[in-house]
Amino acid sequence: MKRLVLLGLTIGMAMLCAAQQELSSRAAGAPRLNIDGSVTFTIDAPEAQWVKLHLDYQRDTLMNRDANGRWTFTTSALKPDVYRYNYIVDGVKVLDVNNVHMMRDVATVMNLLIVPGEQSDLYTVHDVPHGTVSAVWYNSPTLGTDRRMTIYTPPGYENSRQRYPVLYLLHGTGGDETAWLEQGRTAQIVDNLIASGQAQPMIVVMPNGHVDDQAAVGFTSKGLDTPTFSHSQWMEGSMERSFSDITSYVEKNYRVSNLKRHHAIAGLSMGGFHALYISANNPSEYGYVGLFSAAISSRSDSECDLYKDIEQKLKQQFRQRVSLYWIGIGKDDFLREDNQRFTDMLDRNRLRYTFYESEGGHEWRNWRLYLTQFVPLLFK
């Protein structure tokens, strides 16, 4: 309990300090948090005809010019969270030169800021022990190639001989092996939850879910391409079939527990689909399953055996005992109805799950939120 109180204090102090500081930079011109929770954006563009602010979850807004050609705009109070933004100057997208922090989502790069507060405190780096983050290459005999994945090992891993529980964390169609780390702030979330005693020390494995990619853009011999959404193979069984190449590598090279109750698998959107079918087809493997805004339904053109008889497979999976089957979905998510049909089916079969409904839609602020809800429930 003491730890939780301390965390509360830390949050309070963080908010206080941040209220008097710039949000994302010491440089003049970076976004500035105001005492009422609003944020003031500033860009110098004396020769521009017009400047707009493009900010996550807001409509694009014209900014106001002063006599020196400095353009500013102050938002209403923003909910504590991670936000992405950029400017539009005379029709051209412009990143903030006063903020070196950026995030890529498929082919779009935007600046990053964190509005401090209770939820976003988990996304923020604190003076707590930090885990190791590695980009490793594993061989996939099933896919006939080497592939890259990201692995988080918790603080203390290097100094111990113990075996750790493992969470396999899968991204969506727009992501790669860097998505959960960068957009998901996974290392910060898990560091902070472990430090406050809310989560068990665990290994988190973040593979690349696109079987026709070896790695994120820039890390393959394709060169410095700009990524696209187009993939020749997806949700046709290859990722699920090759998944044991990933678990084999992890089990061989990391000290992971071999107990089912120490194995979790979760994913967002397409990754939720992967998590559903990988766990259902391997009912003795995963004690914990997380479906975050999951693309529940298999492709109608799919002939893949892995996707057949899912109701029977789930009954078998639950019969072999699942410690937690966790489903998170936003009220406005376009996959809301698919998830409803899925939980109706689980209800019909009296298969027990935890349902977490959030505001909003199919977006990273929900997937970060779901991760902070899911991780404390694991491996208890």
Of the two residues 101 and 336, which places its CB atom closer to a second copy in the complex? 101
Which residues lie across from 14 on neighbouring strands?
A: none
Is 129 one of the binding residues for a second copy (CB under 8 A)?
yes
Residue 234 in contact with residue 173, Cβ under 8 Å?
Answer: yes
3-state helix, strand, coil in the chain (%, to 5): 30, 25, 45
Residue among 38, 97, 163, 377 that touches a second copy (CB under 8 A): 97
Which of the ranges 23-31, 202-210, 288-296, 344-352 carries the binding residues for a second copy, by CB under 8 A? 23-31
Residue among 26, 59, 348, 350 that touches a second copy (CB under 8 A): 26
Of the two residues 31 and 287, which places its CB atom closer to a second copy in the complex? 31
AA letter at 265: I
Of the two residues 256 and 291, which places its CB atom closer to a second copy in the complex? 256
Residue among 1, 35, 36, 91 that touches a second copy (CB under 8 A): 91
Q: Which of residues 140-179 bind a second copy (CB under 8 A)?
A: 146, 148, 155, 158
Residue 193 in contact with residue 162, Cβ under 8 Å?
Answer: no
DSSP three-state, residue 295: coil
How many beta carbons lie within 10 A of that of residue 226, not counting itself? 11
Which of the ranges 108-116, 284-292, 335-343, 345-353 carries the binding residues for a second copy, by CB under 8 A? 108-116
Length of the chain: 380
Residue 51 in contact with residue 71, Cβ under 8 Å?
Answer: yes
Count of residues interacting with a second copy (CB under 8 A): 65
Which of the ranges 58-66, 96-104, 279-287, 295-303 carries the binding residues for a second copy, by CB under 8 A? 96-104
Tell me phi and psi for residue 31, to 5 degrees: -55, 140
DSSP three-state, residue 57: coil
Is 134 one of the binding residues for a second copy (CB under 8 A)?
yes
Of the two residues 186 and 279, which places its CB atom closer to a second copy in the complex? 186
Of the two residues 147 and 262, which places its CB atom closer to a second copy in the complex? 147
Residue 140 in contact with residue 146, Cβ under 8 Å?
Answer: yes
Tell me the C-alpha distance between 278 and 168, whole Å.
11
Tell me phi and psi for residue 243, to 5 degrees: -65, -30
Question: What is the number of helices (H) and of strands (E) in the chain?
Answer: 10, 18
The tokens of 376 are what?
């404390």
CA 373 vs. chain centroid, Å, equals 12
Of the two residues 102 and 351, which places its CB atom closer to a second copy in the complex? 102
String of contacts with a second copy for each residue 239-268, x by CB under 8 A: -------------xx---------------
String of contacts with a second copy for each residue 195-234, x by CB under 8 A: ----------------------xxxxx-xxxxxx------
Is 337 one of the binding residues for a second copy (CB under 8 A)?
no
Positions touching a second copy (CB under 8 A) are 18, 21, 23-27, 30, 43-49, 89-95, 97-102, 104, 107-109, 112-114, 124-127, 129-137, 146, 148, 155, 158, 217-221, 223-228, 252-253
